[in-house]
A = this chain, B = another copy of it.
Amino acid sequence: MTNAFTASGLFAFYLSDAGIAAEFGAAAFTGRMLAFEAAWTRGLEAAGLVTPEDAAEALSAIAAYSGSAPGSGSERDGLPVPALVAALRQGLSEGGARAIHTGATSQDVIDTAMVLTLLAVAARTAQRLQQVHAQVEGLRARFGDRALVARTRMQAALPATASLRLSAWARPLGDHLTRLGHLRDDLARVQIGGAIGTRDAPEGRGATVAAEAAAALGLGLGPVWQADRSAMVGFGHWLALVAGTLGKIGQDVLLMAQQGVDEIELSGGGGSSAMPHKHNPVGAEAMVALARFVGAQQGLLAQAMLHEQERSGTAWALEWLTLPAMAEACGASLRHAERLIASVERIGAPD
């Protein structure tokens, strides 16, 4: 669902990925906003700021929420949280209502829910990355000893074996998995600052509530990062590396599949409406295009660092406009990689 055209159904999943799209969909994201609100209520209770009875009433309302129009307030507010909080508090006792969201702000909810979303995306992506890595290693086991002409600067260089090129595919895929480990340290933290980032509300006990909420969500605490978007930009960077390596693989396949070069044999391939004899390596083409797309978005996402004053709606929206599309593009590219590698019948010179 990278845009209305690519998500139209006309292209099936050529440039999109249903699984990743679902992570950013209303159901999953609302679930994570509710998880934040429940954790926050638990934090308020643990800090002695609301009674167990009020907390129970609030948690019950949060668990029962099933808003059919979660974005109803966004036309007015630019984000769904005020309307969501109002809906949750609807009909509660005064104490129950106060046990919801008190001391938190919309950005706390959305940023923390986004962290949970990106962690889910990272897990899915890593799993598929491992799969592709294993497939490449499988190719190397099967075809690694076949002759392949090493090519540098688009020119034949020296005789080599398929293993040389396949190692260059496999190694960065493995490295990206390692990098994700480091990245999680930056990313897997709540964003809780309250109205302006002082993390003191309510009643000067905000830090305690935040610590409890973080624990309830299974996230680290760390300092307030409302205006420091390094972790978000860092996640985009990781996606750009992943998509980039897949794009390199796609590019190599396109070059190997040329008539006259014939260093790869693929089963299947896209049909042509004008030339029935053709089998277009359309998955490899998509991998290249998606890599350029993800890489280029990073150039915009990086500008989200210019997050003015305590909290910026403008810079924030740049994250929403880029990260979900980048993640989905990575997912689409991984799917193409899985199929493409599974369709390899030979790499290297024919017998």
Contacts and interface: CB of A to CB of B under 8 A. Distances in A.
A13 B288 CA distance: 30
Given A10-B71, A29-B10, A278 B320 contact: no
A67 to B, nearest CB: 10
Given A260-B262, A285-B154, A292 B273 contact: no
Interface stretch (A52-60, A127-135, A139-147, A297-305): A297-305
A287 to B, nearest CB: 9
Interface string A1-21: 111111111111111000011
14 contacts: A3-B24, A10-B74, A11-B74, A78-B285, A82-B272, A152-B272, A152-B311, A153-B272, A154-B285, A156-B258, A164-B310, A243-B305, A247-B305, A290-B317
Contacts of A85: 273
Contacts of A12: 71-72, 74-75
A314 interface: yes
B305 A153 contact: no
A160 B200 CA distance: 12
A153 B329 CA distance: 20
A267 to B, nearest CB: 12
A11 B80 contact: yes
Q: What's the number of copies of this chain in the assembled complex?
A: 4
B155 A273 contact: no
A351 interface: no
A299 to B, nearest CB: 2
A-B pairs with the 4 shortest C-beta distances?
A299-B299, A244-B305, A78-B282, A295-B302
Contacts of A280: 77-78, 152-155, 313
A5 B320 contact: yes
A175 B30 contact: no
Interface residues of A, number: 152
A253 to B, nearest CB: 9
A258 B258 contact: yes
Given A273-B81, A296-B302, A324 B6 contact: yes
A123 to B, nearest CB: 17
Given A165-B309, A248-B306, A309-B165, A13 B282 contact: no
Contact of A105 (B78, B274, B293): B274
Contact of A328 (B3, B195, B245, B310): B3
Contacts of A164: 196-198, 310
Contacts of A179: 230
Contact of A6 (B22, B234, B321): B321
A272 B155 CA distance: 11
A273 to B, nearest CB: 4
Given A155-B278, A285-B314, A299-B298, A273 B305 contact: no
A284 B308 CA distance: 13
Interface string A249-281: 001101101111110000010111111001111
A291 interface: yes
